[in-house]
Amino acid sequence: MSKNRLEAFSDGVIAIIITIMVLEMKPPHSDSLAALKPVIPVFFSYILSFIYIAIYWNNHHHMLSAVQHVNGVILWANLHLLFWLSLFPFVTAWSGENNFSAVPIALYGVVLFMAGTAYYLLTHALIRHHGHDSPLAKAIGTDVKGKVSLVLYGSAIPLAFVNRWIAFSLYCLVALMWIIPDRRIEKTVTN
C-alpha cells in the first residue's frame, strides 16, 4: 500500500469537509439585512472550523511528506482522524445556530479534543513504524503544541458551562497558535 493513495484520499476527504460545511449556513427566507442576524454566529463558527480544517490539512501534509511507507495500523489511524474531522460540519452548524450556547460549544470542544487525540495517535503509529531515529520522528519532535492543544480543549469543555465565551476564546487561541509560523514558536517553546 502506497503513501500516495493515503495522501490523495485524505486530501479529497478534507477538501470535501471544508467545502460542504458551508451548506449548513442556510440563506434566510426574508431579504432584509435583519434576516441575516441569526446567520452571523453560524458564519463565525464556519470561519473557525474552516481555519481548523485548513490547519489539519496543512499539518497532515507536512507530516506525510516525511513518511516513507504505511501499514494497516497507520491506515486505520488516518481514517480515525478523518472520522473526527468529518464531524466538524455537524458541531459547526449546531454551535452556530445556537449562538455558541454551552452544550453545543462543549460538544465542539469534544470533537476538537478527539480530532487532536486521533492526530496524536496517527503521529505515534507513524513513529513506531519508522523508528525513533527516523527523520519523521525528528520532524515531529516533542510535539509540545499538540499536547498543549489537547490540554486547552480539555479545559474548554467544562469551562463552556461556566461561560460560553471562555470555551470559544480557547478554541480561537489554539487556532492562532497553529497559524502563526511554526518554527519561531517551536523554538520559543522548546528552548
Interface positions with its own copies (CB under 8 A): 1-2, 5, 8-9, 11-20, 22-25, 27-33, 36, 47, 50, 54, 57-58, 61-62, 65, 72, 75-76, 79, 82-83, 86-87, 89-91, 93-94, 97-98, 101-104, 107, 179, 181-182
Return d(Cα 136, Cα 87) in angstroms, integer: 28
**CB 98 → its own copies: shortest distance, Å?**
4
The Cα–Cα gap between 139 and 164 comes to 36
Nearer to its own copies (CB atom), residue 151 or residue 162 = 162
Q: How far is the CB of 158 from its own copies (least distance, A)?
A: 14
Spell out the residues 6+ positions from residue 77 whose beta carbon is closer than 8 angstroms to its own.
Answer: 118, 121, 122, 125
**Smaller CB distance to its own copies: residue 32 or 132?**
32
Nearer to its own copies, 18 or 126 (CB): 18
Which C-beta is closer to its own copies: that of 54 or that of 127?
A: 54
Which residue lies nearer to its own copies by CB, 72 or 132?
72
Distance (Å, rounded) from C-alpha 63 to C-alpha 126?
9
**Closest approach of its own copies to the CB of residue 89, in Å:** 6
